[in-house]
Amino acid sequence: MKLHFSESIQQLKTLATREILKLTQGNDIISFAGGLPAEDFFPEKAIQEAFTKVFEQGKNSLQYGITEGHTPLREEICKRMLLKGIQANLDQIQITTGSQQAIDLISKVFINPGDTILIENPTYLAALQVFQGYGANVVEVSSDDDGMDLNDLTQKINHFQPKFIYVTPTFANPTGRVWSSERKQGILQICKEFETILIEDDPYGEIQFNKAADYSSIYSLHSTNDFNPVLYTSTFSKIVAPALRTGWVIGDQRIIQQITKAKQTADIHSSMIDQQALYFLLKDFDLDQHIISICNEYKLRKEKMTHLLHQYEIPAKCIEPQGGMFLWLTMEDSTINSAELLKRAVQNGVAFVPGTVFYTGEAEKNTMRLNFTYTGVEQMEVGIQRLQHVFSSTSNPQY
């Protein structure tokens, strides 16, 4: 029987992240590919205690809940956000199944086929795929180490009248980039002036290696009483544990209402047990102290990996990130196609993400993303050694 799938699902190519996750399941492969946090540092005792408290509440905790999300959890998140300068009341927050669902629901609420979305290039590939799945015309804005080029942004807003702009201004995936204060202020003003929605995706914002630096969100820079054009989304996946699949989106109440409508038809609500457990965790566990300890460990791992790249003379440049989970490498030989290189790497027992998957349009093919959070330091050295072997044994210029 011939199957007639929708155009939107046909537009979704086979997902590279999916193949990446499969690579990590191989026993002998050291994978720097996935965006996984370190399991050793999951606060599993505290999580288990939180679940125990959920069950102590009685059977009502197992019933259906409201689409917006568990109210006490939303209150706790609002309190946490306020400490980051993000002001939001209960009507301005929707709980989602990870921040991935926030990106999907925002897209559902705004995108008509043919609408333009502006992005950084490179950017989070699963967001690209969501936008393309809704039939969007995804257009890159020129970017440098300080963020988007605001002149190019203004021109493209004028030309395309985009539905929204999608950015990850703090420890971007894949580049690890942090936007300068000037660029953050600038894009906020431009979005207000041109009445354009800005999606600020912030899954890594709390993974900071320099606690003295200023990593204010763009959302928090809005200080007036007029409309805040920023939708801010984040997740507990990196700072608590991914299995809970709990994220949130904060923004103008009129937009959140539409997101809630979309959420209700999508899945009614996210797991209420997990949401209640997270509420108890936020209330009774010192999450900030926990975040400090994982940041300390991740900083060590980041330093170890950059040291190893130097020690094993991997022929690539890398700007050391100030936080997040990834190193972004640009290989010295500009003719290298890292997607081809990956095949040889996997044969040699090591995996990474070729940079090409993070681009729309013209890609810098001699780039790769290495995750430094998941792999312990001993295995990390073995992995980088294997990577060295891939480079040194490759004399064929077509790799």
Q: How far is the CB of 175 from its own copies (least distance, A)?
A: 21
Q: Which is nearer to its own copies, 215 or 248 (CB)?
A: 248
Rounded-to-integer distance, Cα 58 and Cα 267, Å: 24
Q: Which is nearer to its own copies, 51 or 312 (CB)?
A: 51
Q: How far is the CB of 48 from its own copies (least distance, A)?
A: 4
Q: Which is nearer to its own copies, 4 or 211 (CB)?
A: 4
- 382-398 b/e with 16+ CB inside 10 Å = b? ebbbbbbbbbeebeeee
Full DSSP string of 230-278: EEEEEESTTTT-GGG--EEEE--HHHHHHHHHHHHHHHSSS-HHHHHHH
Q: Which is nearer to its own copies, 134 or 359 (CB)?
A: 134
Q: Which is nearer to its own copies, 109 or 387 (CB)?
A: 109
* Torsion (CA) 124, 128, 130, 136 in degrees, nearest 10: 150
Helices then strands, counting H and E runs in the chain, come out as 14, 15
Q: How far is the CB of 354 from its own copies (least distance, A)?
A: 19
Rounded-to-integer distance, Cα 144 and Cα 328, Å: 14
Q: How far apart are the first and last CA of the chain?
A: 41
Q: How far is the CB of 223 from its own copies (least distance, A)?
A: 17
Q: How far is the CB of 213 from its own copies (least distance, A)?
A: 28
Q: How far is the CB of 363 from its own copies (least distance, A)?
A: 20
Q: Which is nearer to its own copies, 79 or 254 (CB)?
A: 254
Rounded-to-integer distance, Cα 152 and Cα 156, Å: 6
Q: Which is nearer to its own copies, 262 or 357 (CB)?
A: 262
For 359, the 3-state DSSP assignment is: coil
Q: How far is the CB of 78 from its own copies (least distance, A)?
A: 21
Rounded-to-integer distance, Cα 219 and Cα 99, Å: 16
Q: Which is nearer to its own copies, 133 or 354 (CB)?
A: 133
Full DSSP string of 152-185: HHHHHHHHH--SEEEE--BS-TTT--B--HHHHH
Rounded-to-integer distance, Cα 294 and Cα 50, Å: 20
Q: How far is the CB of 210 from its own copies (least distance, A)?
A: 27
